[in-house]
Chain A
Amino acid sequence: MARILVTDDAAFMRMQLKDIVTKLGHEVVGEAENGQVAVDMYQEVKPDLVTMDITMPEMNGVEALKEIKKLDADAKVIMCSAMGQQGMVVEAIQAGAKDFIVKPFTADRINEALSKAL
């Protein structure tokens, strides 16, 4: 079981992710609605893994990933992306993201990503 921080600007997406992740036997230790909040919470709750939406207000997912990597070079971050964000995803991988999942999410895909990353 891993402790997970879920980041997405849509409350709806956070609820959904939380649902899936919990059913897979993990614990959601925090929810962040933008990149800045995610960075702040990362320091606070020290999760095992972060799911990070790319398109968000304040600070986008890729910037937040870079910030978190500065705080903790070993941080495990999985990007949540939508179709058509290839460039951003590649940038995130270069910046050290472990994996990415594409919306709409399936439990299988999330399971694969989590088990490979952890």
Chain B
Amino acid sequence: MKDVRKFIVFTLKNQSYGVDVSQVHSIERLQKVTEVPRTASFIKGVIYLRGNTIPVIDLRERLWIGQTDTTDESRFLIVEIKGMQVGLLVDAANEVLDIGAEAIEPPPEMIAGVEARYLEGVAKLKDELLILLDLEHILDMEEVQEVKQAIN
């Protein structure tokens, strides 16, 4: 098969999501988060990881699909976009999947409550749909700034 991409698969609200493995730096267990006051509510705060402070965001809140109650399964998915590391709080991180380019379809306008602008596409697997996230958009600074200004 040609054009096979690897995706890290994780769960949010019992739905599987995927992000390109090349964008994922590491997967970390939860640790104490230091809140950063007066930032967007989906920004949970910062954590310390190998010499750096890394902002962490609640991915559910970012995608406007609720809030995360952390469990033992919860993980921080540390992703890197444009040289910027951000931790995504997810319900669980499951596996790495090879997905052929032909299995990826453009996203519908809304799926599982998530708007298309946050999505790269949808991959049909044997028994379920994998929603592929567009991290660049999700971590887009301009939108973050807008949210912040709305708060202040």
- A touches B (Cβ under 8 A): no
A residues whose Cβ falls under 8 Å from a Cβ of B: none
B residues near A, CB below 8 A?
A: none
